[in-house]
Structure 1
């Protein structure tokens, strides 16, 4: 997933680009087209008028802040992250590190209720807040995926080809809460060079190194503090400005495979903010472990031959977590002419 280098390399460029802002309440046919265009060009967009109630978001943020404000000894009771639970700085099991502490939860009510016992002093309140938030953002994710399918010309009876994978009761979806504390004063780079080469609101310390998300779709909410960057091309990083009330949506590897490379699973990273702590809440919509993934029929044509062989989410997930962050994953699932063709 990510290689968290201690500082960005010298030949990186920071470029200002405004990402698409899509209003989910717009005319359906137009929204569908805009989403497809954004996923082709950026793999990333901002979503407004998404329909998730403000109090649902506020309660989730409140519970997240309360957890990360606890002493380390109390937070560690919810860990170690294997793969769910609390972790700090060590990202995964492959030596990746970052200036981040995090809490990973399975996105189903039973698991959330069970995990809450070691996470919160008021487990029922925590469980209700998380379950309500997960349910709400899953609905948004499903609506976005249905709009994508429509925009790609998938017939209406099959328009749940993407969303059905995360609605499945065995969906492997998860919620990840990331907290990026302000670095100690002695560790901050306040030089003019740092301000020029990096976003003004960011330190040059990497909170979470460059990676793509392996799942289908990510719905991200942050606390309006800068730090997120995407890489639309090699060596170029684009700061994603905070947008009050918006969700950030990005394509995952599975969706890139299912669209036969039409949609882009974009590399992104999080920089530590020099002045304010940053917190993000990421819902990762994932298929069931047994689900077989491959390009949908509408995306395979003589002009656009099959790029990826079929694989199960369990196979891809195993390959993903055996690599370091940033290592290429989808390339190893490229379809070769002598590969056995397996229908999804």
Structure 2
């Protein structure tokens, strides 16, 4: 497999800095979303020092003994659905993934209205003892990526011919932000276990930081698998099921997967910028819809058969990933 990526690299300085041709950047994002559903971004404004600290602290955490990591196991996170899971603890299409990881989200106090009302996926994060730099890096990164998510969704709105505040007004005024840190152990040469199997993301937009290991692959329109090689100073972005739904199929939620053949551990940091939990999602009026055939998707389903409250959609999906924890949010 050719390790060079064909995905476009888009300079988004005009979206995050306010100087430059925003509509020109939006047009590039629009083309990428129509052709691939994936693209790289550069000049995104996130501190390189923060990224380094996050990666260093994550490696320190995953180097800890299993018993130490399990002190913040997801079973302790309750309805907020936060914490650590061990290798094989997360499922994709019912098959255990070859990775361990941490689930985080926006840090909310007990008296926040969404927490007080018992809304799933909202609350306080679980952090390991004795790692204050890890906690600060995670929370600072969530804040930075939330701002970046708003900027990118403004660009996506412009690319669709909408007012740039469209998504903020309709579904991301108070977005559901979910952050994961995954550690993929190296797969032995004769082992074909997937770090994560073929899947699509649930929400609007994923912003991915990956280390320099490689292993991410995206499915092309022709059906082949294209590597998404790490490029220093960039994030990888991809759209999710809800943006395919809202765009009427103009944009596609593209399948992707991970296989770590590097011989070393691989870190990845996906950040999900999604509609608010109680936001109602459906096709945007006025777009030239071209819904995809559900049988073309990896799971035989169609996101165009669904519309409603985003929280209902995401809970159904996440419940299949961690079926043993599903009762915690019912």
- TM-score, normalising length: structure 2: 0.79
Q: Secondary structure at the match of 2:33?
A: helix
State whether residues 294 and 310 of structure 1, in contact with CA within 8 Å, keep that contact through their aligned partners in structure 2: yes
State whether residues 250 and 291 of structure 2, in contact with CA within 8 Å, keep that contact through their aligned partners in structure 1: no
Q: Which runs of 4+ in 1 moved over 4 A?
A: 13-17, 109-114, 303-309, 322-325
Q: Secondary structure at the match of 1:248?
A: strand
Q: Which runs of 5+ in 1 are unaligned?
A: 1-12, 190-202, 326-344
Q: Secondary structure at the match of 1:103?
A: strand
* 2:42 corresponds to which of 48, 53, 77: 48
Could you say which residue in structure 1 is the equivalent of 2:147?
139
Q: Secondary structure at the match of 2:145?
A: helix
Within the alignment, does 1:63 sit opposite 2:57 as a pair?
yes
CA distances 1:225-282 after superposition (whole Å, capped 9, x unpaired): 1100011247421111111110000001111111111111110011113322110111
State whether residues 96 and 324 of structure 1, in contact with CA within 8 Å, keep that contact through their aligned partners in structure 2: no
Within the alignment, does 1:115 sit opposite 2:109 as a pair?
no
* 2:180 corresponds to which of 171, 176, 182: 176
Cα distance in 2 between the residues matched to 1:92 and 1:172: 22
Could you say which residue in structure 2 is the equivalent of 1:35?
29
- TM-score, normalising length: structure 1: 0.76
CA distances 1:108-134 after superposition (whole Å, capped 9, x unpaired): 354999434x424134x3322111111
Cα distance in 2 between the residues matched to 1:93 and 1:227: 17
How far 1:166 sits from its partner (Å)?
A: 3.6
From the CA coordinates, give the structure whose radius of gyration is larger: 1
How far 1:310 sits from its partner (Å)?
A: 2.7
The 1:307–1:214 alpha-carbon spacing in structure 2 relative to 1, beyond 3 Å, is closer
1:94-133 aligned at under 5 Å gives the runs: 95-108=94-107, 110=109, 114-116=124-126, 118-123=127-132, 125-133=133-141
State whether residues 227 and 272 of structure 1, in contact with CA within 8 Å, keep that contact through their aligned partners in structure 2: yes
Could you say which residue in structure 1 is the equivalent of 2:113?
none
Cα distance in 2 between the residues matched to 1:96 and 1:128: 34
State whether residues 246 and 281 of structure 2, in contact with CA within 8 Å, keep that contact through their aligned partners in structure 1: yes
RMSD (CA atoms):
2.9
State whether residues 23 and 31 of structure 1, in contact with CA within 8 Å, keep that contact through their aligned partners in structure 2: yes
Q: Which runs of 5+ in 2 are unaligned?
A: 15-20, 111-121, 293-302, 323-330
State whether residues 107 and 174 of structure 1, in contact with CA within 8 Å, keep that contact through their aligned partners in structure 2: yes
State whether residues 94 and 320 of structure 2, in contact with CA within 8 Å, keep that contact through their aligned partners in structure 1: no
The 1:41–1:93 alpha-carbon spacing in structure 2 relative to 1, beyond 3 Å, is closer
Q: Secondary structure at the match of 1:115?
A: coil
Within the alignment, does 1:151 sit opposite 2:180 as a pair?
no
How far 1:283 sits from its partner (Å)?
A: 0.6
How far 1:291 sits from its partner (Å)?
A: 0.8
CA distances 1:76-116 after superposition (whole Å, capped 9, x unpaired): 11113663211121214974312100101123354999434
Could you say which residue in structure 2 is the equivalent of 1:256?
244
State whether residues 92 and 321 of structure 1, in contact with CA within 8 Å, keep that contact through their aligned partners in structure 2: no
Within the alignment, does 1:23 sit opposite 2:22 as a pair?
no
Could you say which residue in structure 2 is the equivalent of 1:188?
189
Could you say which residue in structure 2 is the equivalent of 1:328?
none
The 1:309–1:72 alpha-carbon spacing in structure 2 relative to 1, beyond 3 Å, is closer
State whether residues 179 and 279 of structure 1, in contact with CA within 8 Å, keep that contact through their aligned partners in structure 2: yes
Cα distance in 2 between the residues matched to 1:58 and 1:315: 36
Could you say which residue in structure 1 is the equivalent of 2:85?
87
* 2:227 corresponds to which of 239, 246, 259: 239
Within the alignment, does 1:321 sit opposite 2:321 as a pair?
no
Equivalent pairs counted in the alignment come to: 289
Report which of the two has the higher share of strand. Answer: 1
